[in-house]
């Protein structure tokens, strides 16, 4: 009855829901790319969690010639898959399944190495993965997307937006991510107070990021209208930003402040930074992962370093040995832990950029089935699409190009 | 390992899913109000659960200058949010986000006071909130809707119905509410047998209300056809009706009977009472919360009073001190407990009516962005809506007003 | 705190989600049968779980004149409901609700008897129900569908396929089934290592069946395109195939191999066997349950017999008395257990075929409201369908029969 299963399996199932339903449906916002969004998300996840079980197993739990598995290895494999799906978001609609599988093969490996360096060698704390998952996944994907830059992507512009019902499908993803994020951040922490505190902090942070996102989305629009892109994405920044600090004594007020700030930065990113990234830096970021995972992830790493640097025996009591064992055992000061946290962020950015660069070069190999510029964001090259939709596509094309009718 | 987290967090996550996915998608049945239904549900919930943590915290767990939080406070905040969302259902499509936030601010406060009077002062039992959540939320919303009565609402009549796919989105909400309702009613009860019994009773009651709803929906139609409005809503009445009595010894047979009755009353309400409420009483109840939460909530309070009045030491054994501590300790007879239960219902109705009245007057203040009569149930005043939908809107309008074509 | 509730209720809720959301939405792929798919799934489930509580209660937990209920009875009732829904998949779109309720009445009863013979009399192990649920449900439905064969079904052919958004709704079902299948197979096993191991094996098997399904779906298509029918269904075969052996020492490698094989067989079934079943054997299997539940179920029973036959004290240690109590107590050899497992499969096939035959004859009774051949896969005979959809239906019909336009 004391089996670890009973303390972590419900959290694992919440995380599992986030990976397959959350990420999968969040990406169905594209009007003609729903099959690919949900289908490739499924394929990449099923592949990554198996490959990651091996990679993480060799690095973390290889004893006596065998990889030890259990509910914790399932959670960790899902976490690694999360990073892959973040990168997938950056290149969504512009890559073939073969390219994506190749990306996953590389990214899962580098994720495992980076995570091993941070958690095992540097003693960095990052339970909910602000660094190892969000920062790593986002910058890996962004650099990869930069290498795969398509100057003629406007040929597919008419399919890049959403339609009414595709936005509702995307909200299924958003909300499942939102409600289960407290489980995500708390799934791998120490049992007992550690999980309890992490869940609470994440819950408050998400509440605050939701309010700041709604407020800012309306304020930034000329007519005071809300933008579904912000609501589908930036509300989640509160979960990302406490990924490192959620298990620490950030306090509910700190969590609310961090969440409020993350929602603000993320919404501003979608509104102002994203067009600049494309026009100036040639980074085409389909889902805006820079705004949802990149910036909030880096901010989360900084918040984590700050809160770690403020750790005292008084504040944590007996819990200090669980949250910061190296400080509790006197091997490190709080300040030194904070420096290690910052160094962990640096290592992550290096690994992500390097990996994304290599990945991009690999994915530019011919024969990987990359879609042509005029067929991006289009299911029909990879899927049997029911006839009725093709009819609608025709109808749309006619509406869009009235001169072809004449 | 004995942390309360492990005994309540899975139930909390089920409740959380009901609030954000369940209520949210249930309200997407309106053809042109999907963004607002799911989006405002999200906004109000994120706001209410933070505000409620403060209000309930001051009233219930304010010790030594600090509010004590934990998984129970998260559950209670979600419960209070549920009441707000029920009221939202009554005015869905006819209020602006600013009006709704103002409503939430008031309703959360009054909810906290009413709950404090019932649970802490009167010693009333109401685990699943037949009174505190459903009755309170429904009559607050109905009175508020009465004060905001729009005599010209038929100008928006063409958008009040559903379309095929919007009804399927609504079923996501219905079913998540239905499957997790046993967790809702059992989330705050005593651990052990109390939670176990409550979950079972709710499960049976819901099964019975589903059967009576399907049967009656077909019987009431001339051609024997089922009506999606009944299936989306009245099936859930079985969860509402055992909200008070679920943790008591209502027995499975009692739960089945209560559920069957609740499904019947609710379906009859949608069919016959709802048009009368609008025409005679000038209450425009968009989601029919009177049928799903109002009448079944009152019925649930009465069932709870009845079952409480029948409580004996024999029937409950050692469990009596958990379910009815005041009876177990000899401070009250079972009959006296039943009278207190009825008085709790009376107090709730007074608070809800008074609060809804005040709320309605507040919301009639100008400058709150209330939509004009001809723009109710319409996303486009508050949201950037993708172009394709506007095209369809145009097409609809042409179909509906053929004379404008000439 | 040691209440069984805390060890099984989270798994129960996952199973509950699979039954109502998973099966329900998986069947919404039909373009004009979404209301019926999700609605009748709901009705049959609510009915079956109440009726099954009685049937299983009398057979398994009837003591002192009372049926004993609890979280285990809720799980078992949901399992029985799963079998009914599999049969429903075979006749989807071709039966009235009254016919379906009659089918459920019969099938739940026979399910209970068959399960009692296997588990209680023969001492067969079948935690996740490869035999009792999948094989039984599939062949019951297939034989029933054979008896109800419609030679003129092509009159409804134009409604048999999906549309773009109905395929996305179906993916909600697929993915919830996929993510929670580890909970399904592990819900009724022994607590502790038994549940832990079953969840792990199922997780790996599903990962492997997903990869083999995607690979084969693309390979079997002329243009390398993926087929949504395969992705929605065959990916799940990995869960079915370890339904018997999941709690045994199949090892992760064995689970991966079984899942890979199951995904392969299932995809091949959809591609090649299904048309033959209709043309040669006159079995019209709407959802292809033969490919998803029939063949993988039988394969799962064989895998279970094989793994049972290889059981040794060394491999299981103390766990042997939980998994194979009869072997541990010396009443049976491993080989003998394997033979009993095979006999259990045989009994299941006999019961399913016999039951499906009787059921088919019963359902052919007049006055049960069976839809005419030209009105299959059509919501409008049983539901009030919103006007807009009817308009689209008209538009479709005009497109399909251009001569009527002239």
CA distances from B64 to A247, A251, B55, B67 (A): 24, 17, 16, 8
C43: chain B residues, CB-CB within 8 Å: 210-211, 214
First to last CA, chain B: 74
Is residue C243 situated within a structural domain? yes
Closest CB from C17, C38, C70 relative to B168: C38
- Residue C395's pLDDT band, with cuts at 50, 70 and 90, is low
Q: What is the mean pLDDT of the segment spanning C381-395?
A: 69
Distance to chain B for C10, nearest Cα, Å = 6
Minimal Cα distance from C11: which residue of A?
A10
Is residue C402 situated within a structural domain? no
Q: Quick check: C71 and B167 CB within 8 A?
A: no
Q: What is the mean pLDDT of chain A?
A: 92
Is residue C403 situated within a structural domain? no
Q: What is the domain count for chain C?
A: 1
B383: chain A residues, CB-CB within 8 Å: 225-228
Q: Which domain holds residue C295?
A: 2-393
Q: Give me the pLDDT at residue A83, please.
A: 97
Q: Give me the pLDDT at residue B388, please.
A: 60
Q: Is residue B186 within 8 Å of residue B247, measured between CB atoms?
A: yes
At C233-261, the pLDDT tens digits run 999 999 999 999 999 999 999 999 999 99
Q: Quick check: A168 and B47 CB within 8 A?
A: no
Q: Which residues of A263-288 are buried (b: 16+ CB within 10 A; e: fewer)?
A: bbbbbbbbbebbeebeeeeebbbbbb
Q: What is the mean pLDDT of the segment spanning B288-307?
A: 97
Neighbours, chain C (3 or more CB pairs < 8 A): A, B
Q: Write out the DSSP string of C1-66.
A: ---THHHHHHHHHHHHHIIIIIIHHHGGGSTT-HHHHHHHHHHHHHHHHHHHHHHHHHHHSEETTE
Give the Cα separation of C25 and C3 in Å (integer). 33
Which of A386, A391, A396 to substitute to test the interface with C, most C CBs within 10 Å?
Answer: A386
Distance to chain B for A359, nearest Cα, Å = 34
Q: What is the mean pLDDT of the segment spanning A220-234?
A: 94
Closest CB from C193, C226, C399 relative to A39: C226
C256: nearest Cα among C291, C204, C323, C311: C204
A228: chain B residues, CB-CB within 8 Å: 35, 39, 383-384
High-pLDDT (> 70) share of chain C, %: 95
Q: Give me the pLDDT at residue B395, please.
A: 52
Is residue A399 situated within a structural domain? no
Q: Quick check: B210 and C17 CB within 8 A?
A: no
B204: chain C residues, CB-CB within 8 Å: 50
Query: Where are the strands (E) in B48-93, listed by range?
Result: 62-63, 66-67
Is residue A398 situated within a structural domain? no
Q: What is the mean pLDDT of the segment spanning B100-106?
A: 97
Minimal Cα distance from C381: which residue of B?
B225
| Rg, C-alpha atoms of chain A | 21
Report yes or no on whether pTM surpasses 0.90. yes
Distance to chain B for C237, nearest Cα, Å = 25
Q: Quick check: B167 and C391 CB within 8 A?
A: no
Q: Give me the pLDDT at residue C4, please.
A: 85
At B42-52, the pLDDT tens digits run 999 999 999 99
A4: chain C residues, CB-CB within 8 Å: 196
pLDDT for residue B164 is more than 50: yes
B31: chain C residues, CB-CB within 8 Å: 386, 388
Give the Cα separation of B88 and B145 in Å (integer). 10
At B5-34, the pLDDT tens digits run 889 999 999 999 999 999 999 999 999 999
Both structure tokens of A216: 């800012």
Closest CB from A193, A228, A256 relative to B35: A228
Q: What is the mean pLDDT of chain C?
A: 92
Give the Cα separation of A48 and A32 in Å (integer). 25
At A129-162, the pLDDT tens digits run 999 999 999 999 999 999 999 999 998 888 888 9
Closest CB from C161, C172, C175 relative to A386: C161
pLDDT for residue C192 is more than 90: no
Q: Give the number of other Cβ atoms within 10 Å of residue A399's Cβ.
A: 12
Is residue B405 situated within a structural domain? no
C43: nearest Cα among C134, C86, C104: C104
Give the Cα separation of C366 and C362 in Å (integer). 9
pLDDT for residue B171 is more than 60: yes
Q: Give me the pLDDT at residue B357, please.
A: 97
- Residue C110's pLDDT band, with cuts at 50, 70 and 90, is very high
At A350-363, the pLDDT tens digits run 999 999 999 999 99
pLDDT for residue B55 is more than 50: yes
- Residue A280: CATH number of its domain: 1.10.3430.10
| Torsion angles phi and psi, residue B241, rounded to 5 | -70, -20
Q: Give me the pLDDT at residue A261, please.
A: 97
Helices C334-363 and C136-147 cross at an angle (nearest 10°) of 30
Both structure tokens of B195: 């939670």
Closest CB from B168, B207, B225 relative to C50: B207
Q: Quick check: B199 and C71 CB within 8 A?
A: yes
Closest CB from C1, C42, C43 relative to B7: C1
B324: nearest Cα among B150, B125, B129: B125
Both structure tokens of C111: 């399910």
Neighbours, chain A (3 or more CB pairs < 8 A): B, C
* Residues in chain A, overall count: 406
Q: Give me the pLDDT at residue B293, please.
A: 97
Q: Give me the pLDDT at residue B401, please.
A: 46
Q: Give me the pLDDT at residue A234, please.
A: 96
- Residue C3's pLDDT band, with cuts at 50, 70 and 90, is confident
pLDDT for residue A302 is more than 70: yes
Distance to chain A for C382, nearest Cα, Å = 24
A1: chain C residues, CB-CB within 8 Å: 2, 7, 191-192
At C34-65, the pLDDT tens digits run 999 999 999 999 999 999 999 999 999 899 99
High-pLDDT (> 70) share of chain B, %: 95
At B262-276, the pLDDT tens digits run 999 999 999 999 999
Q: Is residue A23 within 8 Å of residue A40, measured between CB atoms?
A: no
Interface A-C: count of C-beta contacts within 8 A: 119
| Rg, C-alpha atoms of chain B | 21
Residues in chain A whose Cβ is within 8 Å of chain C = 1, 3-6, 9-10, 13, 16-17, 20-21, 24-25, 28, 34-35, 38-39, 42-43, 46-47, 49-50, 69-71, 74, 97, 165, 169, 172, 381-389, 391-392
B178: chain C residues, CB-CB within 8 Å: 20, 42
CA distances from A149 to A88, A107, B67, C105 (A): 15, 19, 52, 60
Q: Is B127 exposed, middle or buried (0-12, 13-18, 19+ CB in 10 A)?
A: buried
Least confident of A267-271, A338-342, A382-386, B174-178: A382-386
pLDDT for residue C300 is more than 80: yes
Give the Cα separation of B57 and B397 in Å (integer). 50
Q: What is the mean pLDDT of the segment spanning C171-196?
A: 94
Q: Give me the pLDDT at residue B4, please.
A: 85
Report the Cα A143 to chain-centroid distance in Å. Answer: 15
Closest CB from C161, C196, C221 relative to A3: C196
Specify the DSSP class assigned to residue B378: -
Q: Is residue C132 within 8 Å of residue C184, measured between CB atoms?
A: no
Q: Which of helix, strand or coil describes residue B62?
A: strand
Place of tokens 């057979």: C59
Place of tokens 């299981």: C316
Is residue B109 situated within a structural domain? yes
Closest CB from B2, B172, B210 relative to C46: B210
C301: nearest Cα among C352, C377, C267: C352
- Residue B66's pLDDT band, with cuts at 50, 70 and 90, is very high
Q: What is the mean pLDDT of the segment spanning B69-92?
A: 96
Minimal Cα distance from B161: which residue of C?
C386
Least confident of B289-298, C80-89, C102-111, C147-156: C147-156
Q: What is the mean pLDDT of the segment spanning B71-93?
A: 96
Residues in chain B whose Cβ is within 8 Å of chain A = 1, 3-6, 9-10, 13, 16-17, 20-21, 24-25, 28, 34-35, 38-39, 42-43, 46-47, 49-50, 69-71, 74, 97, 165, 169, 172, 381-389, 391-392
Closest CB from C47, C74, C165 relative to B203: C74
Handedness of CA B112, B118, B119, B121 (dihedral sign): positive
Q: Give me the pLDDT at residue B386, please.
A: 87
High-pLDDT (> 90) share of chain B, %: 85
CA distances from C155 to B204, C166, C284, C374, C395 (A): 41, 21, 14, 5, 18
Give the Cα separation of C200 and C198 in Å (integer). 5
Q: Quick check: C3 and B161 CB within 8 A?
A: no
Least confident of C121-125, C133-137, C169-173, C401-405: C401-405
Q: Is residue B136 within 8 Å of residue B83, measured between CB atoms?
A: yes
Q: What is the mean pLDDT of the segment spanning C287-312?
A: 96
A97: chain C residues, CB-CB within 8 Å: 214, 218
Q: Give me the pLDDT at residue B405, please.
A: 40
Q: Is residue A101 within 8 Å of residue A47, measured between CB atoms?
A: yes
Report the Cα B46 to chain-centroid distance in Å. Answer: 17
pLDDT for residue C397 is more than 60: no
Is residue C401 situated within a structural domain? no
Minimal Cα distance from B388: which residue of A?
A163
Q: Quick check: C192 and A391 CB within 8 A?
A: no
CA distances from C42 to B231, C82, C127 (A): 9, 12, 24
Contacts of A242 (CB under 8 A, 6+ apart): A128, A130, A185, A201, A202, A205, A250, A255, A258, A259, A300, A303
- Residue B392's pLDDT band, with cuts at 50, 70 and 90, is low
Give the Cα separation of A172 and A22 in Å (integer). 7
Which of B71, B167, B217, B260 to substitute to test the interface with C, most C CBs within 10 Å?
Answer: B167
Least confident of A314-323, A396-405, B250-259: A396-405
- Residue A222's pLDDT band, with cuts at 50, 70 and 90, is confident
Q: Which of helix, strand or coil describes residue C66?
A: strand
């Amino acid at each position: 009855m004391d089996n670890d299963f009973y303390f972590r399996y419900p959290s694992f199932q919440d995380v599992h829901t986030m990976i397959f339903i959350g990420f999968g449906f969040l990406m169905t916002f594209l009007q003609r790319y729903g099959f690919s969004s949900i289908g490739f998300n499924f394929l990449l996840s099923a592949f990554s969690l198996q490959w990651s079980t091996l990679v993480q197993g060799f690095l973390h739990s290889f004893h006596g010639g065998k990889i030890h598995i259990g509910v914790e290895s399932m959670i960790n494999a899902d976490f690694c898959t999360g990073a892959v799906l973040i990168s997938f978001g950056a290149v969504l609609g512009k890559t073939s399944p073969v390219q994506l599988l190749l990306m996953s093969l590389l990214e899962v490996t580098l994720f495992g190495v980076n995570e091993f360096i941070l958690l095992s060698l540097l003693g960095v704390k990052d339970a909910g993965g602000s660094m190892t998952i969000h920062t790593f996944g986002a910058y890996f994907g962004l650099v990869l997307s930069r290498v795969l830059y398509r100057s003629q992507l406007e040929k597919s512009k008419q399919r890049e937006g959403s339609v009414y019902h595709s936005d509702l499908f995307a909200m299924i993803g958003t909300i499942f991510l939102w409600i289960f994020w407290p489980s995500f951040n708390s799934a791998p922490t120490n049992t007992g107070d550690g999980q309890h505190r992490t869940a609470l902090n994440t819950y408050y942070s998400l509440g605050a990021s939701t309010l700041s996102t709604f407020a800012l989305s309306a304020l930034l629009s000329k007519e005071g209208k809300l933008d579904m892109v912000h609501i589908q994405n930036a509300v989640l920044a509160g979960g990302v930003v406490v990924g490192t600090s959620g298990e620490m004594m950030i306090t509910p007020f700190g969590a609310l402040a961090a969440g409020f700030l993350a929602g603000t930065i993320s919404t501003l990113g979608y509104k102002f930074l994203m067009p600049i990234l494309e026009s100036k830096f040639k980074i085409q970021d389909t889902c805006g992962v820079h705004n949802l995972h990149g910036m909030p992830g880096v901010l989360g790493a900084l918040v984590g370093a700050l809160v770690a640097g403020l750790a005292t025996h008084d504040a944590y009591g007996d819990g200090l040995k669980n949250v910061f064992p190296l400080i509790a055992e006197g091997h490190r000061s709080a300040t030194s832990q904070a420096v290690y946290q910052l160094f962990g962020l640096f290592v992550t950015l290096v690994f992500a950029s390097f990996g994304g660069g290599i990945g991009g070069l690999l994915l530019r190999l011919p024969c990987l089935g990359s879609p042509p510029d005029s067929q991006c964001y289009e299911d029909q090259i990879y899927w049997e699409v029911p006839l009725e939709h093709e009819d609608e596509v025709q109808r749309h094309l006619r509406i869009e190009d009235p001169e072809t009718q004449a």
